[in-house]
Amino acid sequence: MEKSKLQVTLRNLLITYILTGILLVVLAFALYRFRLKEGQIRLGVNAVYVITCLLGGILMGKSIRQRRFFWGLLLGVTYFVVLLGVSYFLNKGLTGSMNQILTTMAICAASGTAGGMLS
């Protein structure tokens, strides 16, 4: 029996968040070991977003096999919305400027779309 598109999306989203956790642990170790500056940390976090959403988009495209760019975009936007929701819940509000939030959304959406097109 074929899995539904919702199941595929949730599975790929879970894979993306597991990869995010692994990469953030690596980034935290680099922060500890090399005493990275704030700008380098921001760059590292953005690189994590790009890598994970790109991989998620590739997985979505390979799983669904039709309108791949759309499904990659959907994964990137869903990744961002979950990230924003968890951040809002944990911080009891939004932190950061609207510019930072929109930039992060654009990074996630564009990377997911690119991954879908590359699949």
For the entire predicted model, the pTM comes to 0.92
DSSP secondary structure string for all residues of the chain: -PPPHHHHHHHHHHHHHHHHHHHHHHHHHHHHHH---HHHHHHHHHHHHHHHHHHHHHHHHHHH-SSHHHHHHHHHHHHHHHHHHHHHHHHTS--S-HHHHHHHHHHHHHHHHHHHHH-
What digits encode the pLDDT tens for the residues 6-18?
999 999 999 999 9
User: What are the tens digits of pLDDT across the range 30-87?
Assistant: 999 999 898 999 999 999 999 999 999 999 999 998 999 999 999 999 999 999 999 9
Neighbours of 101 (CB within 10 A): 15
Are the beta carbons of 119 and 112 closer than 8 angstroms? Answer: no
In the chain the first and final C-alpha atoms are separated, in Å, by: 23
Cα–Cα separations (whole angstroms), residue 37 to 10, 21, 32: 35, 21, 11
Q: How far apart are CA 57 and CA 97, in angstroms?
A: 27
